[in-house]
Amino acid sequence: MNPSSAFEHIFQLQMQTLATSLQPATIRYYQACLNRFLRYVRAAHPGLLSPEQLRRDPHILGWLRSLAGETPPLSRRTRRACLMCVRRLLEDLIANGHLLPNDLLLRQDFPPRDLYLPQALSPDDDALLDRQLRRTDDLLANALLLLRGTGMRIGECRRLNIDCLRHLGGEQWAIHVPIGKLHTERWVPVDDDLRRIVARILSLRGGASDQPGDSPDWLLTQPGGRHVTYYALHKFLKQASRLAGCSAPVRPHQLRHTYASSMLRAGVSLPAVKELLGHKDIRMTMVYILVTQTDLQQQYRLAREKMAGAYALPDMSTSAAVEPAIPAVSRLLSTARHLLEMYRRQLDHTHSQLKIRRLINRLSKVGDELARFALARK
């Protein structure tokens, strides 16, 4: 075995270990990134026998320069992916006993992330597309309506089973999204409209296929028996958005962004949107959310109204002096309870808060007694 083959063999063994825990698509991604690194080492440093011989200079710095100089140029996203995959493999080799330096790849080596605006559709485009898909009313149109109404990834939607719609009791229904990209499964609540869409898909789907890899239990099955493909959904959505008169062609993943933004706009909390989308990190959810200036103004006004109500003091005008005795005292007791509660919320000490709570309860009992006394005198 020549030196380069021995060097590559160690990395390929580590890839086989990774394959036991990662999805096949992820492994293919890792392999493509690793191949770029191995091709550079094979061409520029054919004498390397093992990973232990790697040094930041010249090996890693030389590879970084080669990535930056490729033709056509690599995007910053691709370069980041290559560095992340190779760093993961190097860390795993260290964990398995290989004596590699710890400073081969540093944080400053990674190109900054490209920060894109959220890709949610405008409300007008969203409404136009919805009407167009409902007019078409075939299998692909209803699949895209389901995608828009649940915020699923397109791969998750394609892997739905025919029994994905589940009754959780009472009026609660949800779609079971199977384990996918992040190795998690989840329930996505649905309403009557989405239940009708699922029923329509079931009436339009085809039967079993004899093609390898096709499952008779998949929800999205063409009338001919073939599983609906990514390409078919992409192409159909592009055509539908053009016929609908949308401002630009629409991609399937934009429906997920639109779902997230509309949920937040409707009042769903950010942590809840995170769970609906199946994200592990709320920072990823923020990438999906389109918050317009109109949204900010609306949320600000609502917050101010709530704060004004929470801290508004009862009327303590001198008109209480001319009121009948018991109603006046009852109103002043209510004012005292309110002021004590505001004070209690400012305290940090739990014991002090408990004492104030007891005083508030005593005033409440006095108020109740006064009310009963007034009622008995009538």
Find the range with the poorest average confidence among 6-15, 135-144, 217-226: 217-226
Find the range with the poorest average confidence among 75-84, 93-102, 115-124: 115-124
Owner of token pair 């590559």: 8
Query: What is the mean pLDDT of the segment spanning 284-310?
Result: 65
> What ranges make up the beta strands (E) of the chain?
165-169, 172-177, 186-190
Query: pLDDT by residue (tens digit) across 149-170?
Result: 999 999 899 999 999 999 988 8
pLDDT confidence of residue 101: 87
Query: pLDDT by residue (tens digit) across 347-370?
Result: 767 778 888 888 888 888 888 888
Angle between helices 192-204 and 139-150 (to 10 degrees): 150
Query: pLDDT by residue (tens digit) across 38-91?
Result: 999 999 998 888 899 999 999 999 999 999 998 899 988 899 999 999 999 999
Q: Is the pLDDT of residue 210 over 60?
A: no
pLDDT confidence of residue 208: 57
Owner of token pair 């969203």: 126
Query: What is the mean pLDDT of the segment spanning 225-251?
Result: 93
Closest to 99 (Cα-Cα) out of 46, 62, 54, 34 = 54
